[in-house]
């Protein structure tokens, strides 16, 4: 067609140009064997990166397996996964190691994290006290996910909140770390909290579910 410029036609208008989604770093933290690696794996849309080593007799007396005797492997550095919440928001998930001897890595893992999930094994909530403390001290917003092993949730969220002395603004959610939908709900609750805390809500906008 006379006068038309194919190059100009091919170029999208500025408003139509693809916009890179916001990426947000989230930690999945908590005590030894509470289900962190399981949660990152269940919710990640990419094959998760794992750094697990087998628990062997060499760890006797070092690894406290009370209550989790069947555990066969443990995270020694981190888990990594990704979940796209909407076309504007992608979460990068970093699972922390749970054993006390690897806690020195938490400081590095926390750099740049906007928020965290503190997972709790409903049978051993005390194993995640230190994780709650870690995020409270650093002012990193977090939600608590109560992983009901064997799908059982004997305690209502309010009872868990009381036992952990959590303030009212920290959401407590019952979950199953093995279930994608359940793990996603915990992440959405965290996003809700982050959005509520963001000044004027300008940094993040609520994703569609």
Ligand X SMILES: Nc1nc2c(ncn2[C@@H]2O[C@H](COP(=O)(O)OP(=O)(O)OP(=O)(O)O)[C@@H](O)[C@H]2O)c(=O)[nH]1
Position 71 contacts ligand X (CB under 6 A): yes
CB 77 within 8 A of CB 104: no
Position 81 contacts ligand X (CB under 6 A): no
Position 142 contacts ligand X (CB under 6 A): no
How far apart CA 38 and CA 121 sit, in angstroms, is: 12
CB 133 within 8 A of CB 64: no
How far apart CA 78 and CA 50 sit, in angstroms, is: 7
Least distance from ligand X to the Cβ atom of residue 88, Å = 30
Least distance from ligand X to the Cβ atom of residue 203, Å = 29
Which residue's CB is nearer to ligand X, number 19 or number 66?
66
Segment interacting with ligand X, rule: CB under 6 A, options 33-41, 134-142, 153-161, 185-193: 33-41
User: In sequence order, what are the beta bridge partners of 25?
Assistant: 92
Chain residues 143-202 in contact with ligand X, contact rule CB under 6 A? 147, 149-150, 176-178
Q: What are phi and psi of 48, to 5 degrees?
A: -70, 145
Which residue's CB is nearer to ligand X, number 34 or number 164?
34
Q: Is 90 exposed, middle or buried (0-12, 13-18, 19+ CB in 10 A)?
A: middle
Binding site for ligand X (CB under 6 A): 32-38, 71, 74-75, 97-99, 147, 149-150, 176-178
């Amino acid at each position: 067609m006379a006068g038309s410029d194919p190059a100009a036609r091919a170029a999208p208008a500025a408003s139509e140009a693809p916009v890179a989604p916001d990426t947000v770093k989230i930690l999945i933290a908590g005590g030894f064997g509470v289900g962190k690696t399981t949660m990152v794996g269940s919710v990640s849309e990419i094959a998760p990166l794992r750094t697990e080593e087998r628990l062997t007799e060499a760890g006797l007396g070092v690894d406290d397996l009370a209550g989790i005797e069947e555990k066969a492997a443990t995270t020694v550095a981190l888990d990594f996964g990704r979940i796209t919440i909407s076309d504007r928001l992608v979460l990068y998930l970093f699972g922390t190691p749970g054993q006390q001897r690897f806690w020195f890595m938490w400081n590095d893992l926390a750099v740049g994290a906007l928020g965290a999930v503190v997972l709790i094994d409903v049978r051993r909530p005390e194993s995640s006290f230190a994780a709650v403390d870690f995020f409270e001290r650093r002012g990193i917003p977090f939600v608590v996910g109560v992983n009901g092993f064997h799908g059982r949730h004997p305690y209502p969220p309010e009872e868990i909140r009381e036992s952990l002395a959590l303030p009212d603004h920290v959401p407590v959610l019952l979950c199953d770390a093995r279930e994608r939908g359940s793990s996603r709900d915990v992440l959405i609750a965290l996003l809700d909290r982050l959005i509520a805390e963001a000044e004027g809500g300008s940094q993040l906008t609520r994703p569609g579910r």
